[in-house]
Amino acid sequence: MSKELISLLLSVDPVSASTNTASFIDPKTVLTFFSGGAFGSLITIIYNRIRGRIQTMECHYIDDDVISRLPIQVDGGDSHQNIFSKQFLLKNTTNTDIKDFIVIFEFDCESRIIRHTDVTKAGVDRLKKRLLKPNEYSVTIKNFNRKDEIKFIFEIANITKDLCNVTEDNCIGFKVKLKDKRKAMIKSKLTLVDKVTLNQTTR
Last residue of one domain, picked from the residues 28, 52, 76 = 52
pLDDT at position 90 = 98
Closest CA to 174 of 47, 50, 57, 46: 57
**What pLDDT does residue 80 have?**
94
pLDDT in tens, 58-81: 999 999 999 999 999 887 778 999
* Predicted pLDDT of residue 19: 45
> Where does the chain show beta strands of DSSP type E?
55-68, 72-73, 79-80, 83-91, 98-107, 112-120, 123-124, 128-133, 136-144, 149-157, 163-169, 174-180, 191-192
- My answer on whether 12 and 63 are in the same domain is no
- pLDDT band, very low/low/confident/very high, at 45 (cuts 50, 70, 90): low
Q: Find the mean pLDDT for residues 44-62.
A: 77
CATH number at residue 177: 2.60.40.290
- The most confident of the ranges 35-39, 116-120, 181-185 is 116-120
Domain interval for residue 47: 3-52
Shared-domain flag, residues 145 and 165: yes
Higher pLDDT, 45 or 136: 136
Please give the single-letter amino acid code of residue 5: L
Q: What is the mean pLDDT of residues 22-39?
A: 55
Measured CA to CA, the distance from residue 6 to residue 12 in angstroms comes to: 10
Domain count, the chain: 2
User: DSSP state, 11?
Assistant: T
**Whole-number Å distance between alpha carbons of 30 and 7:** 12
Q: Are residues 43 and 143 in the same domain?
A: no
23: Cβ–Cβ under 8 A, 6 or more apart, which residues? 16, 17
What is the chain's mean pLDDT, rounded?
A: 82
Same structural domain, 109 and 169: yes
* pLDDT given for residue 9 in this prediction: 46
| Nearest-angstrom CA–CA distance, 157 and 48 | 46
Query: In terms of Cα–Cα distance, which of 99, 104, 111 is closest to 88?
Result: 104
38 and 71, same domain (yes or no): no
Query: Is pLDDT above 70 for 40?
Result: no
pTM: 0.69
Of 119, 115, 109, residue with least CA distance to 84? 115
Secondary structure (DSSP) of 126-169: -SEEEEEETTEEEEEEEEE-TT-EEEEEEEEES-SS-EEEEEEE
Note whether 80 and 176 are same-domain residues: yes
